[in-house]
Homo-oligomer: A and B are copies of this chain.
Amino acid sequence: MVESTRRTEIMEAVERLLARGGLNAVTMRAVAAEADVSLRLVQYYGSTKDALLGAVLDRLADKSVERWQARARQRGYESPLEVITAFFDEALPTDRASQDFHRVGVCMEGLAITDPDMAGQAYQRHLSGLGDHLSGVLKSSGLSAKAARRLALEVMALAHGVGTLVMSGQLSEAEAQALIKNYLERLGPQLSR
């Protein structure tokens, strides 16, 4: 199973379908149509459906963690509050790309509950990778290990929940930003103590 261009194309097609219509939209035939290849090709490069989906989810988990690591490397050390503010900026589903990302996250969440064997592991890697990175950044800017991890997970949880409220129409984008701003204003003074 070599890492060919074709295989990458097919995995990207899976990601697009996943982002657009959730898990149910991902069928071998739909992937073939989306990638504009034959069904046989999807089988050839992805072998079985579970294997293909697992590989895609792993890739997605890796990509999201790497995106954050690159971001941290680029911006250098920031204050915890800046780190968290930036995280919310990126995590809230304000544009199409982050909406897709959130949708995929929700799919993985559901899959992790339905079928813990396959997506559960990818989802856990996704969450723990993000959590480790975020808590690492927070720790390196002065927080204790325990406080950093706790805050990292709190921020991730809040971002996920607010993202869901936004995507389900309970919260407008502006309201979400106001909510986060309010949250950060409460959090800020506590961090610099």
Contact = CB atoms under 8 A, between A and B. Distances in A.
Contacts of A21: 114
Contacts of A24: 114
A83 interface: no
Contacts of A123: 168
| Copies per assembly | 2
Interface residues of A, number: 44
A33 interface: no
A74 interface: no
A76 interface: no
Interface in A136-164: 150, 153-154, 156-162, 164
Interface of A: 21-25, 103, 106-107, 109-110, 112-114, 120, 123-124, 127-128, 131, 150, 153-154, 156-162, 164-165, 167-171, 175, 178-179, 182-183, 186-187, 190
Given A24-B114, A186-B187, 13 more contacts: A106-B109, A107-B110, A112-B168, A123-B168, A128-B170, A150-B182, A153-B171, A154-B179, A156-B161, A156-B165, A157-B162, A157-B165, A160-B160
